[in-house]
Amino acid sequence: MTKDIKLRLKDVSSSNPGNLEAVFSLGNGHFGVRATNPIESSAVEGTLVNGFFEYSPITYGEAAAYYPKRNETIVSLPNLRKIRVFDDGHGEFTHSKLVDMQLDLSNGKLVEEYELSNDKKQTIKMNVTSAIDQREVHFYGIEYAFEAETYKGDIYIDKNFVLEEAKGETGDDIDDPRKTRELKSIKREVVATDDLSQTIAISTAESKQRIEITAYGFNDESHLSTKLSLADEPKVSYGFIVGEKNEKGDFAKEDFATIKENSASFWHDTWQNGEVSIAGNDELNLALHYNIFQLNQATGRDGKTNIAAKGLTGPGYEGHTFWDTEMYMIPYFIYTNPEIAKKLLVYRYNTLDFARTRARELGVNQGALFAWRSINGEETSAYYPASTAAYHLDGDIAYAIGNYYQATHDMEFLKDYGFEMLLETARFFREFGTWAKKDGKTVFEFHTVTGPDEYTAMVDNNYFTNRMAQNNFNLAYKLGLVLMEKNPEAFGKLGVSIEELEVFKDIAEKIYFPFNDEYQINAQDDTFFSKAIWPFDETPKDKYPLLLHYHPLNIYRYQVNKQADTVLADLLFPETIDDDQLSREFDYYEKITTHDSSLSRSIFSALAARMGDMKKAYSYFSDTVRMDLTDLQGNTEDGLHLANLGGSWLSVVQGFAGMQVTSAGELKIIPHLPIEWDGFEFRIVFNGRLLNINIIDGKTTIKLVDGQPMNIIVDNKSYKLEKATLEILSKGE
């Protein structure tokens, strides 16, 4: 990083404890620790392990064939930060006032300051330093330092695990599908304990999973219960490590210094390949760095886990993975850390058997339909109009596969994972679609479908879905030919032929796209423009988000968008639409979009920037980049909005910088600089090259930091990028 950047308490608008716990949480893709107050209980306190979940039955008033039968809910583990502090009269310091918090984004270290008091109003200061290991991902360390204030005697520390978790609002209690449910089938028990360490086990009754966690002191003489004297020393400290057995069932101790070193080296490498900096606005620059920091903390890196909608910062949405990963989060990793992007796609590959089964349940004899919301790959959504019917997910995964291959040319991935997924998703679209006649032409359509906009469900020919399916067919055809040429044996093992690839190509050419002649724009679906526009003027502000206040069937009757839909397709496929139509399209859909979804504003920002509408681009970006720091959506306490974190990167790199990869595979930059900034700079990885791109008023500077020379397009002019820095005078709006 160009300089140390730290998030402090003053940088967060909401002082709600739940919000702070999520915002200042630590994670490493394997597990996450909310920044709970170590002394006082929290409604959502605990630790989350990626992929550690429990089943519970789904109860329907009226069920039908092949409805999902069981929920999956991420398990909240015991709070790793909890500590009990007593005075020498056995009174407990039960009151804890937060004074300050500071999260160092350059090394991952969290520092907090509290004032503790007992019932006698005597006070001591407690400073807490914690870090999570980013290399050996099973370890977390925390150190408590105490200073005398009005109390100056001995203090007694108890650091044994508290196995009973606090209970807060759950999805069982309230009408908010973003919440999680309470689990009653989790067993927590102490399996080993002595003066120096304690081991607990957490097991699930239905999913048959088990985790063992051991707490031990910083050194071989540190007791979990100990006495410290503030009478002899003005400042004393005590620390411990929490470790988990690794995948092999082994446990080896780690020390706090190593944890901090592993964290710092990870973040150094992360910023080296993927930093994005804004010059001229420190507030937005900090927020952007923070978002990228938390996105990296939340991401599964083992090919077995993914990114939950709330990451590892809270149990909202029950820890489920959605389409958000491929559309909003994988792009960042494709262009900064392709190996992690690959692991996220391998996760999808590892759920193919579930996806094939789901496709058969929907009456499709070939192909696969990936789960709309899941942890392990099974479909768990009980409301199919806004889940299973949103089968654009298959195309979203295919899109990510295409982008990954285009940016890496990873033939091993294509051979072992990528093409098989493209093949299976293309087969699903082929089987689930329908040939029809329209205006005397034979076309291919998709019926009874829900697009990204969940306020418009079960329609025919959702434009976004049709565009994603077309891309899926084209990718299966083109990359199928690549695999057939490079590795005919691998191609043949998948039971595919050149004739089947030709069928994909033919369908892609004949897919129908709805169009509105009156407005001369792409229609969101066949019937969208026949509906009345939602009565926005009659809707009070406290009735948003609409999904919490109106019956779905009421919402479905109107033209109203929860989030970007058709305009998202315009962003993903810029070569399919000219500037005039794009402007008309953006203006129309913007007026009827509520942005009730956190996924929406980043897309409108990126598209507005590409259009040169910098006022709107900047406004949407400002909301996007600080969404969780301001609690814009009103539910940050349940966990951060991970897709939006990725979306803020999209807004800058694919929006203001206009970065895209052409159909010919060339990297293209069309810079648009907001007048509020002095400039912005970012790094990306593309086909084995590391590029540093700096955009200031009137000039774009591109440096080939590492890798071979390449061609790059800036403002529609091609340049040869050598090792030397390339400086290009540009419009730089």
Q: Catalytic positions, please?
A: 454
Residue type for position 728? I
Task: Tell me which H or E stretch contains 74.
Answer: strand 70-77
Q: Alpha carbon of 284 to those of 275, 291, 332, 387, 676: distances in Å?
A: 14, 10, 18, 34, 11
Tokens 């308490």, located at residue: 9
d(CA 306, CA 374): 10
DSSP three-state, residue 223: coil
Query: Cβ distance 167 to 68 under 8 Å?
Result: no
CA 519 and chain centroid, separation? 35
The upper half-sphere exposure of residue 638, i.e. CA atoms within 13 Å in the direction of its Cβ, equals 23
H helix count then E strand count, the chain:
20, 31
d(CA 34, CA 129): 14
d(CA 436, CA 461): 12
DSSP three-state, residue 667: strand
First to last CA, the chain: 26
Q: Alpha carbon of 353 to those of 295, 304, 366, 369: distances in Å?
A: 28, 14, 12, 10
Query: Cβ distance 186 to 56 under 8 Å?
Result: no
Query: Cβ distance 677 to 280 under 8 Å?
Result: yes
The upper half-sphere exposure of residue 520, i.e. CA atoms within 13 Å in the direction of its Cβ, equals 8
Comparing CA positions, the residue from 443, 472, 467, 474 lying closest to residue 523 is 467
Comparing CA positions, the residue from 338, 260, 339 lying closest to residue 302 is 339
d(CA 691, CA 722): 11
Q: Quickly count: other Cβ atoms within 10 Å of residue 221's Cβ.
A: 9
- CB burial class (10 A; 0-12, 13-18, 19+) of residue 521? buried
Structure tokens at 418: 């990528």
Query: Cβ distance 381 to 317 under 8 Å?
Result: no
Give the DSSP letter string of 297-313: HH---SSS----TTTTS
Q: Alpha carbon of 542 to those of 15, 465, 470, 538, 643: distances in Å?
A: 21, 32, 40, 12, 24
Q: Which long-range contacts (CB under 8 A, 24 or more apart) does 378-382 make?
A: 378/68, 378/70, 378/72, 378/354, 379/68, 379/354, 380/58, 380/68, 380/70, 380/71, 380/72, 380/318, 380/320, 381/68, 382/58, 382/60, 382/67, 382/68, 382/71
d(CA 670, CA 317): 37
Phi and psi at residue 288, to the nearest 5°: -65, -45
d(CA 717, CA 699): 14
Length of the chain: 733
Beta strands in 464-601 (DSSP E): 515-516, 521-522, 532-533, 558-559
Per-residue b/e over 293-330, b at no fewer than 16 CB within 10 Å? bbbbbbbbbebebbbbbbbbbbbbbbbbbbbbbbbbbb
| Maximum distance among all Cα pairs of the chain, rounded to whole angstroms | 93
